A and B are shown apart, each in its own frame.
Chain A
Amino acid sequence: DSGVTQTPKHLITATGQRVTLRCSPRSGDLSVYWYQQSLDQGLQFLIHYYNGEERAKGNILERFSAQQFPDLHSELNLSSLELGDSALYFCASTWGAGGMGNEQFFGPGTRLTVL
C-alpha cells in the first residue's frame, strides 16, 4: 500500500459526459501528479500540482482540468468525454515540489471506460 488513495476504482460513462477523479496523496506529501495509461499512448504525464498550485502541464487535453485543494487532495475533471479517453488514470505523490531523484508514490488508479 503506497498510502495514495484514488476513487472511484472503476468508472463507466457515456461519450459527451463529464467525470471527476479524486486522489488523496500520502500524508505529508505536497505534490500530486496525474498520469494517463492507455494501450496506444502508454504512461503519459498529464499535470503536476504543488501545494495547491499548478506547476506544469504535460500531454493534457483542454477538455481536462485539475485542481488541488487546501487539504491537498486533488481532482482531475474530464469533460466532453470521447471513446479515446478510456484509460487508467493514476495519481502519484511526493514530498515537497518534487526533485529529480524523488520517488513518486502511485495510487491504484481509476479505470475509466467511455461507451
Chain B
Amino acid sequence: AQSVTQLDSQVPVFEEAPVELRCNYSSSVSVYLFWYVQYPNQGLQLLLKYLSGSTLVKSINGFEAEFNKSQTSFHLRKPSVHISDTAEYFCAVSDQGSGTYKYIFGTGTRLKVLA
C-alpha cells in the first residue's frame, strides 16, 4: 500500500524567509502527487499537483514543488512567506485500489509564519 510521510508536524518561520515542507512517498508504480492547504476553519484547497511532465510544478501564490523520483520526494517550497501563508499543508498521493482512486494523505505540516 502506498503511504505518505510528512516528517515535520510544525514549522515556524519568520515572514519573508524561505520555507520547505517535506513530503516523502512510498510507491512502486507511477504516482500522482498533490499538495493541499487547509486554512483555519476551512476545508482543503488544492495548491498544486504533479501528474507527469516537468518535475517542477508551481502554484499561483508562489509555492513550488519538485517531484524527485529517485528520492521519492515531493517537497514544497516558497522563497518568501507571508503571514497569510499560515495554514496546515497536506501532501497526498493518488492511490488506485479496490476499484477506486483515493487520496492517501500525510499527517500534515502546520506552517506558522511569524511577524
Interface residues, chain A, CB within 8 Å of chain B?
Answer: 2, 4, 33, 35, 42-45, 48, 50, 55-58, 90, 92, 97-109
For residue B23, give the distance in angstroms from its CB to the closest CB of chain A: 14
What is the size, in residues, of chain B's interface with A at 8 Å between Cβ atoms? 26
**For residue A42, which residues in chain B have a CB less than 8 angstroms away from its CB?**
105-108
**For residue A2, which residues in chain B have a CB less than 8 angstroms away from its CB?**
43, 45
What 0/1 pattern do residues 25 to 50 of B give for CB contact below 8 A with A? 00000101010100000111110010
Interface residues, chain B, CB within 8 Å of chain A?
Answer: 30, 32, 34, 36, 42-46, 49, 51, 90, 94, 96-108
For residue B32, give the distance in angstroms from its CB to the closest CB of chain A: 5
For residue B51, give the distance in angstroms from its CB to the closest CB of chain A: 4
**For residue B49, which residues in chain A have a CB less than 8 angstroms away from its CB?**
101, 103
With known contacts A90-B43, A101-B32, A55–B104 Cβ distance under 8 A: no
